[in-house]
Amino acid sequence: HGLPLDSRSWSAQYDAFADKYRNIFVDLRGYGASSKLPAAVKDVTQLYCDDILAVMDHLEIPKANVVGFASAGHVALRFAALQADRVNKLVTLNASPKFKRNDTDYPNGFTEEQLNDHFVAASDRGIEEVTNAILDPAVVFQDLTAEDAYKVASWFRTMAYNAGTDTLNGFFKIMAHDDDRQYVPRVKAPTLLISSSLGKEVPAATALYLRQNL
């Protein structure tokens, strides 16, 4: 699942694939029913990769098809690169190896100002304000009717409030500053890249970058 969601966001997929696969829907640390992020965590992405590996080991899953959306797609890319022998196939939806753009060689993603605005919204004004920023109608749900957008936003808001500001800032202050482009060529599993045509923080050009470098 991506920020600010949890495994409940996969409910439709759970129903669709229940009779076809053994499905494990993970709440990343800080989200859903999982424990909170450690206060001193330095690398959130690696923590999540280690957690996924621990889940697979605990459930005695030698190899899995790994699916990740948005920030979890970022995690899935690194996991597939570092744990190539544990990944059968990889599916990413709006995944990015790097969420922060720069002026030299990576024009996709958030600006430094946008990341800081989200961090300040969470730190100074609380979970409601940062959730409002994440669910800005100028950025998300542009392909939905106003009624459907309201329903989806209300559902997402419940999951965001459950995650809390520390978890969301784990993305905006730490994960969003990752540069995982080095890992992309190390992904060996057959990979399906799914990209939104309307995404702004992770535009279609990001999927093209992955397609050209995987």
Mean pLDDT of the chain: 93
Does the domain at residues 7-213 carry the CATH identifier 3.40.50.300? Answer: no
Say whether pLDDT at 161 is over 90: yes
Please give the torsion angle defined by the CA atoms of residues 166, 168, 173 and 176, in that order, rounded to the nearest 10 degrees. Answer: 150
Helical ranges in 19-111 per DSSP H: 44-58, 71-82
pLDDT at position 133: 83
Rounded Cα distance between 197 and 145, Å, is 17
pLDDT at position 143: 84
Rounded Cα distance between 75 and 92, Å, is 10
More confident residue, 134 or 105: 105
DSSP string, 117-134: HHHHHHHHH-HHHHHHHH
The answer to whether residues 178 and 98 touch, using CB atoms and an 8 Å cutoff, is: yes
Rounded Cα distance between 205 and 144, Å, is 22
Helix (H, G, I), strand (E, B) or coil at 29: coil
Say whether pLDDT at 206 is over 90: yes
pLDDT at position 118: 85
pLDDT in tens, 50-77: 999 999 999 999 999 999 999 999 999 9
